[in-house]
Amino acid sequence: MIDKFLKRIGGKQPAAPPPERPAPPPVIDVTDGDFATVVEQSTLPAVVDFWADWCEPCHVMSAYVGFLAQEYAGRMLVAALDVDENPETPSRFNVMGLPTLLILRDGQEVDRIVGVMPYEEIKARVDHLLVSN
């Protein structure tokens, strides 16, 4: 019966289902306690999303940060820090408005984005950092 079916469809075996894709890398949640170890000592450049739950624009930027984590997996550390639960790190980096994305290389700030910006512009700034790295 299978032979008749294969003959009817041209003799080809049905294609195997595509392999499972690995889950995209998550955005790493960091705290005041582990920021230095996870972000500042990272061998990869880093993007850190400073956000708060009550901040509506932060939710838009958090989605963009998730896209960055997927697109730059293995080339960039992507992290998020809740400023309400972790006030020391935002104070240390003079984060005055939300959302704020800090872009760091070797633990040093090299770029800052405050407010909502189109994803393509964020991506262009990240690409510039990676090219100049």
Fold of 23-131: Glutaredoxin (3.40.30)
Read off the pLDDT of residues 15-57 as tens digits, 9 standing for 90 and up: 666 667 666 668 999 999 999 999 999 999 999 999 999 999 9
pLDDT at position 105 is 95
Give the closest residue to 28 by CA, choosing from 83, 65, 71, 75: 65
pLDDT, one tens digit per residue, over 52-86 is 999 999 999 999 999 999 999 999 999 999 999 99
Q: According to the model, what pLDDT value does residue 22 have? A: 64
pLDDT of residue 129: 87
Name the nearest CA neighbour of 50 among 106, 5, 112, 7: 112
Which pLDDT does position 132 carry in this prediction?
Answer: 79
Residues identified as active-site = 55, 58
- Alpha-carbon span 107 to 37, nearest angstrom: 10
Residue 11 has pLDDT above 60, yes or no: no
pLDDT of 6 > 60? The answer is no
Give pLDDT tens digits for 83-116.
999 999 999 999 999 999 999 999 999 999 999 9
Which residues, 6+ apart, have CB-to-CB distance to 67 below 8 Å?
119
Q: Which of 101, 105, 103 is nearest to 113 (CA)?
A: 101
Query: How does residue 131 score in pLDDT terms, banded at 50, 70 and 90?
Result: confident
113: left (phi over 0), alpha (psi -120 to 50) or beta: beta
pTM more than 0.95: no
